[in-house]
Amino acid sequence: EKVEITKEQQALVKSIVDAYNRHQIPQDVTKKLLQEQYSAEENFLLLTEMATNQVQVLVEFTKNIPGFLSLDREDQIALLKGSAVEAMFLRSAQVLSKRMPNGYKEVLKERVRNSGMSEEFMTPMFNFYKSIDELQMVQEEQALLTAVTILTPDRPYVKDYQAVERLQETMLVVLRKLCVLQHPQDPQYFARLLGRLTELRTLNHYHAEMLTSWRMNDQKFTPLLCEIWDVQ
């Protein structure tokens, strides 16, 4: 059928993509990934700093999702806490799949590999990064997929399930149209994007286990990460 995006859907996409691009980790932070020395401790510290900055970027992006701030305040918190790891996986995956200058992505991968993480977590993580890379998403798809992930209604402690579902539905309708228009030769593209969200859920589980093992080794996190991940 003839798929076309309405005026208000175009406005929605524009506001989400602008928010997605406006909030980035500051260059002086990301360039530390290239400069600091290599050791498991230093790598863990850097990744903790990146994750902390990433959460701040995530909060700012989320506040710009049309309708999010009109949700119940406690539900806003529940959505952020429930989606933080998945949204950060998406964002770091998109960073790693971008054509990076001066070996940046190799450096990031190297630091992740040598940060005291268990192999059982690395494999699914790097498989996910590879599967995101293969999709070669345009920025509209990346921004909308991140918004869809954040607006997942079945997170713990969400009270007004319907309100969140309505918002997510609005995003999914636009994302599906974008996929049809952007990838006419691949009618399954939208379905493959949604398949990544399922894969993200399994990564949540691995991440929770990794957090536990880090805590056993008395690894320190920042106050913001402790708050969003309910640790310490």
Ligand X SMILES: CC(C)c1onc(-c2c(Cl)cccc2Cl)c1COc1ccc(-c2ccc3[nH]c(C(=O)O)cc3c2)cc1
- Contact residues for ligand X, defined by CB under 6 A: 24-25, 30, 44, 47-48, 50-51, 54, 85, 88-89, 91-92, 95, 108, 112, 125, 221, 225
Is the Cβ of residue 48 or residue 182 nearer to ligand X in the bound state? Answer: 48
Q: How far is the CB of 158 from ligand X (least distance, A)?
A: 21
Q: What is the DSSP string of 100-167?
A: -STTHHHHHHHHHHTSS--HHHHHHHHHHHHHHHHH---HHHHHHHHHHHHT-S-STT-S-HHHHHHH
* Closer residue to ligand X (CB): 54 or 62: 54
What are the distances in angstroms from CA 219 to CA 23, 161, 167, 168, 223? 28, 35, 37, 36, 13
State the nearest-atom distance from the C-beta of 122 to ligand X, in Å: 9
Contact 193, 175 (CB under 8 A): yes
177 and 3 Cβ atoms separated by less than 8 Å: yes
Query: Closer CB to ligand X, residue 94 or residue 170?
Result: 94
Q: Which is nearer to ligand X, 183 or 207 (CB)?
A: 207
Minimum distance, C-beta of residue 88 to ligand X, in the bound complex (Å): 4
Which residue, 12 or 84, has its beta carbon nearer to ligand X?
84
Whose CA is closest to 168, among 79, 58, 86, 57?
Answer: 79
Residue for token pair 């149209």: 177
Least distance in angstroms from the C-beta of 102 to ligand X: 13
Which of these, 139, 173, 142, 167, lies nearest to 152 by C-alpha position?
167
Q: How far is the CB of 97 from ligand X (least distance, A)?
A: 12
